[in-house]
Structure 1
Amino acid sequence: MGKIKACLFDLDGVIVDTAKYHYIAWKELANEMGFDFTVEDNERLKGVSRMTSLDILLSIGNVEKSEEEKLELATKKNENYLSYILKMGPEEILPGTKEFLEQLKKEGVKIALGSASKNAMTILNRLELTSYFDAIIDGTKVSNAKPDPEVFLKGAEALNVSPGECVVFEDAEAGVEAAIAGGMKCIGIGNAEILRKADFVVDGLHKMNIAMLEGLNN
C-alpha cells in the first residue's frame, strides 16, 4: 500500500442498514396517535435531528403537542428504535463488509468508525464487528455534525495518521462533504448522482478491494 494508511467508515448505509428501524419506530409513534406515516413521508426525515423529525411527523398528522409532550414522544421513539437495535445480529451486516475489513487488516491498513450515531457501539457489538476497528468515533465523542469534518479528523488523530493518508466511506452527501473538508479521499456508497463529489462511487463494500484504494494514490 502506498499513501493510504487508514480507512474511516460511516456506519448507517455503509456497514449496516439501521434506517429501516428508525422508520418502523416513527411509524409506530404515528399509528399510536391515529395517523399513518409512509415511506415517502420518511424521506423528509433523512439527515434531520430527532426533534425536527418529530415536528415533521406531527405536522403530517396535523397534531399539536406541548414541548413537554414532544420530549416524551421523542424519548419513546428512541426506546422503540433501541428495542429493534438490540435484536440485531451479524446477518444484518451489509454484503462484502466483513471481507473488505479482513482485507484491510491483512494489509495493515488502520480502520476507524466515524458515525454521528450515539448507538454505534451497541450496533457494532450486536454485529460482532467491534474488534475490526482500531478507533471508534461516535455521537458521544463529537459536538459538530457532518458536513463538519470533526468526526473524521478525530478518527485520523486517534489512528495517528494525517488526513491525507485517509479514505472515508460514506453514503450521505453531508458525509462526503465532511471528508473533503477534512482533506481526505472519499469513496461514496450508493447513488453516484447524489455522491458526485466523492472520488468515486460503488454500490456497496462488496464491490471494493485493496487495488481500488491503491488507485486513489495516482
Structure 2
Amino acid sequence: MQEDTPLGAEAIGLDPAVRACLFDLDGVLTRAAEIHAEAWRRTFDAFLTAYDARGSRHTAPFDEQTDYELYLDGRTRTDGIRAFLGSRGIEVPMGDPEDKPGTDTMYGIGAAKQSEFLALLGTHGPRLDDDAVRYVREARYAGLSCAVVTCSANADALLSAAGVAHLFDVRIDGRLATALGLLGKPAPDVYIAAARGLEVKPGHAAVFDASLPGVEAARTGGFGAIVGVDRLGGGGYRARLRAHGATTVVRELGELLVQSGTATGAQPAARRVPGLED
C-alpha cells in the first residue's frame, strides 16, 4: 500500500514554500477577544470610578471597540494598561506581582482583569471558532507544523477548555514571553520565537492574526505570508490590516479553501495567498 504523501501548503491556500502556520489565539482561533474586551471594560470602569471619585474628575470611560482595538488588542497586559491609562493622562506605579485586584498599580489592574476574564470564561466558555480549528486540522493533514501565539496569559486555560491543545506543536503565551524577555506585539519577538520552536525560518512561515499590532509584528519579522482576519467585517478595518502588513485579508480562514473537497482526508484545491513570490 502506498503511503500518504503530505499535501503541502497549496492544499490550504498558501504558497508552496510555507512549512508552518502560526496562529494568534484571540480573534483567530477563538472569539475570546469579545471576552477580553468585556473584562477590560469591567476592570477599567471600576478603576476609573474610584479614580474620579478621589479627585472629583470625569474621565472618559473605556470603549469596548475603539479603546480595545487601539490600546489593548494584541499587546501584553502591562503594555495595554499603560497605553490605555496614558490615553487618559493617568499614570500608576508598576507595583508588585502579588498585588491583588483593587490595588492601583499595573499589577493590581492586571490582576483585576484576570479575575474578570476567568469569571466570564467560566460563564460563556472559550467561544471556539470551529472554522479556524477546521483550518488548523487541514494544515496538519497537509503536513505543516502549527503554533499558537498570544500575548495573553490565558492560552492554556482557553486551549484546554476548548479541547484543542494537542493540535499545536509549539505554544508561546504571555507568561512564557515574559519569562524569556520577549517584547510584545508590534515587536516580532513572539512570532520569531514560535518559528524558532518549529525550526523554520520566518520567510517559510505564515502568520494568522486579527489585530493591527499582530500583522505589523509579522511584517517586521519578515514572515512569508501574513493573513489578516477581519472579524469586524468592514472595509475600513480590512484596509487597515493591509496597511499594517497583511498580504491577504479574510473574514474566516475557510475562505482560503475551496468549498468542495475540504474535509480532513480529502485533497482540496486552493487559491494561493500572496506573500512569498508575489
- TM-score per shorter chain, which class? 0.7 to 0.9
**Equivalent position of 2:104 in the other structure:** 70
**Equivalent position of 2:129 in the other structure:** 94
Q: Does residue 26 in structure 1 map to residue 57 in structure 2?
A: no
**Equivalent position of 1:194 in the other structure:** 240
Q: Any residues of structure 2 matched to 1:1-218 within 5 Å, and which? A: 1=8, 2-29=16-43, 30=45, 33=49, 37-39=62-64, 42-43=67-68, 44-47=70-73, 49-52=79-82, 55=85, 59=88, 67=93, 69-71=103-105, 72-89=108-125, 92-142=127-177, 143-184=182-223, 185-190=225-230, 191-196=237-242, 197-209=245-257, 211-213=270-272, 218=277
Q: Look up the SS of the partner of 1:195 in the other structure.
A: helix
Which blocks of at least 5 consecutive residues in structure 1 are unaligned?
none
Q: Look up the SS of the partner of 2:72 in the other structure.
A: coil
Q: Deviations over 1:126-183 (max 9, x none)?
A: 1111011011111122221112111111111111112121000011222112112222
Kept after mapping to 1: 8 A contact 2:136/2:167: yes
Letter in 2 for 1:77: K
Kept after mapping to 2: 8 A contact 1:31/1:37: no
Letter in 1 for 2:31: D
Kept after mapping to 1: 8 A contact 2:29/2:129: yes
* More deviation, 202-211/36-45: 36-45
Q: Look up the SS of the partner of 2:197 in the other structure.
A: helix
Distance 1:81 1:123 in 2: 11
Q: Which has the larger radius of gyration?
A: 2
Distance 1:217 1:208 in 2: 16
Letter in 2 for 1:146: K
Displacement after TM superposition at 1:53 (Å): 5.8
Which blocks of at least 5 consecutive residues in structure 2 are unaligned?
1-7, 9-15, 51-57, 96-102, 231-236, 258-267
Kept after mapping to 2: 8 A contact 1:95/1:204: no
Distance 1:23 1:87 in 2: 15
Q: Deviations over 1:160-213 (max 9, x none)?
A: 112121000011222112112222121111132111131111112232227245
Q: Look up the SS of the partner of 1:98 in the other structure.
A: helix
Q: TM-score, normalised by structure 2?
A: 0.66
Report the RMSD for the aligned CA atoms in angstroms.
Answer: 2.9
**Equivalent position of 2:261 in the other structure:** none
Letter in 2 for 1:80: E
Distance 2:65 2:152 in 1: 23
Kept after mapping to 1: 8 A contact 2:35/2:120: yes
Distance 1:27 1:216 in 2: 37
Letter in 1 for 2:254: H
* Number of positions where the alignment pairs a residue of Structure 1 with one of Structure 2: 213
Distance 1:82 1:53 in 2: 23
After superposition, the Cα gap between the structure-2 partners of 1:123 and 1:88, relative to the gap in structure 1 and judged at 3 Å, is: farther
